[in-house]
């Protein structure tokens, strides 16, 4: 069987292969950097020499998070949720508020209470040699407050709409779940060694904790948008400008019969009813989806 010749320019095939190679190379490099630069999970978190929680507590807390399906209700690391809160942002926000109240009546020199809190949350107290993360007494007290908060949250229906009473009733599960939230909040605020931004590039944002957008985030976001839109425009430009880049075969002439000469079959006539019914169903689906989407902002109306 004779070999079939390509109907398009060989440069398109070569360009596709080169794109795949570059794309997968970038993905492999980024995957390696993600695991190499991942935030540490300390063996223990201490305050004044006393252990608040351990690495095993955080890992078990993550399992609790998965076991009770909390990702279906809320989220972590600012991924976004339709009904519940982002637990990383919530823990960071309430902790910052608690620390601000604690520091308001204490002398802080030229720094305000909020500035002191932002500086404390962004200061990285992880000691790699001892594999220990050290917190201040004020932050330890804030963490214990968060344990009480989540114990109340998951044992009653008054805090989170749509949450059944006694969703998580085991006190040890609550303690370890709070440890998991605390670790995610720490990685979201504590600066990377040698950097002025956190392990998550100050995400999720929290003004009280000093989590503001970084210059690098803005720069690379703009570059990616320009690369996507501009790169697509360049490809279409060259494809339309130079014949040797695309298909060069002569277009075949297509003859169409008049519509009046074409007899409609019964199945073609039935398509009209199909289009009417499907359009009505699509409208109902759209209105129902819009109604449901309005319940999360005020879920107390629906979740009773």
**Whole-number pLDDT of residue 244:** 66
pTM > 0.85: yes or no: no
pLDDT along the chain (304 residues), means of 10: 62 87 96 95 96 98 95 88 88 96 79 91 97 97 96 76 78 97 98 95 94 93 95 86 64 75 87 95 94 69 57
Dump the DSSP string for 41-76: --SEEEETTEEEEEHHHHHHHHHHHHHTTGGGT-BS
Residue 284 neighbours by CB under 8 Å, 6+ apart: none
Calpha distance 301→292 (Å, rounded): 11
Give the burial string for 60-97 (b: 16+ CB within 10 Å, else e).
bbbebbeeeebeebbbbbbeebebbbbbbbbbbbbbbb
Please give the C-alpha separations between residue 217 and each of 143, 162, 206, 294, 300, in angstroms, as whole numbers. Answer: 30, 35, 16, 31, 36
**Whole-number pLDDT of residue 271:** 93
What phi, psi does 79 have (nearest 5°)? -70, -25
Please give the C-alpha separations between residue 138 and each of 96, 145, 185, 197, 255, in angstroms, as whole numbers. Answer: 11, 11, 16, 23, 82
Q: Which residue has the tokens 């006694």?
A: 166
**Whole-number pLDDT of residue 228:** 94
What are the structural domains of the chain?
Answer: 44-213 (1.10.760)
Q: Where are the beta strands (DSSP E) in the chain?
A: 44-47, 50-54, 126-127, 132-135
Return the H-helix or E-strand segment holding 268: helix 266-293
Q: Which of 57, 37, 54 is nearest to 45 (CA)?
A: 54
Assess contact for 97 and 208: CB atoms under 8 A. yes
Please give the C-alpha separations between residue 87 and each of 114, 126, 131, 151, 267, in angstroms, as whole numbers. Answer: 21, 22, 25, 14, 54
**Whole-number pLDDT of residue 255:** 79
**Whole-number pLDDT of residue 10:** 76
């Amino acid at each position: 069987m004779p070999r079939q010749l390509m109907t398009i320019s060989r440069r398109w095939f070569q360009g596709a292969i080169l794109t795949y190679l570059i794309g997968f190379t970038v993905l492999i490099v980024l995957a390696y950097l993600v695991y190499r630069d991942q935030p540490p999970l300390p063996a223990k978190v201490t305050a004044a020499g006393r252990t608040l929680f351990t690495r095993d507590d955080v890992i078990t807390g993550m399992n609790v998070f998965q076991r009770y399906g909390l990702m279906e209700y809320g989220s972590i690391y600012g991924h976004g949720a339709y009904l519940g809160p982002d637990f990383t942002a919530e823990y960071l926000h309430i902790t910052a508020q608690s620390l601000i109240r604690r520091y308001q009546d204490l002398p802080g020199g030229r720094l305000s209470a909020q500035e002191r809190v932002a500086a404390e949350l962004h200061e990285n107290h992880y000691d790699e040699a001892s594999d220990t993360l050290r917190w201040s007494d004020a932050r330890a007290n804030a963490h214990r407050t968060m344990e009480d908060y989540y114990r109340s949250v998951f044992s009653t229906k008054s805090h989170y709409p749509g949450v059944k009473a006694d969703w998580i009733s085991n006190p040890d599960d609550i303690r370890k779940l709070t440890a998991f939230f605390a670790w995610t909040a720490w990685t979201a605020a504590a600066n990377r060694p040698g950097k002025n931004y956190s392990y998550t590039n100050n995400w999720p944002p929290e003004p009280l904790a000093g989590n503001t957008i970084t210059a690098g985030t803005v720069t690379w976001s703009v570059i990616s948008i320009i690369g996507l839109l501009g790169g697509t425009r360049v490809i279409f430009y060259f494809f339309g400008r130079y014949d040797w880049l695309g298909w060069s075969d002569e277009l075949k002439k297509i003859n169409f019969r008049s519509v009046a000469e074409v007899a409609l079959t019964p199945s073609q006539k039935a398509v009209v009813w199909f289009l009417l019914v499907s359009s009505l169903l699509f409208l109902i689906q759209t209105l129902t989806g819009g109604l449901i989407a309005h319940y999360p902002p005020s879920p107390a109306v629906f979740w009773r």
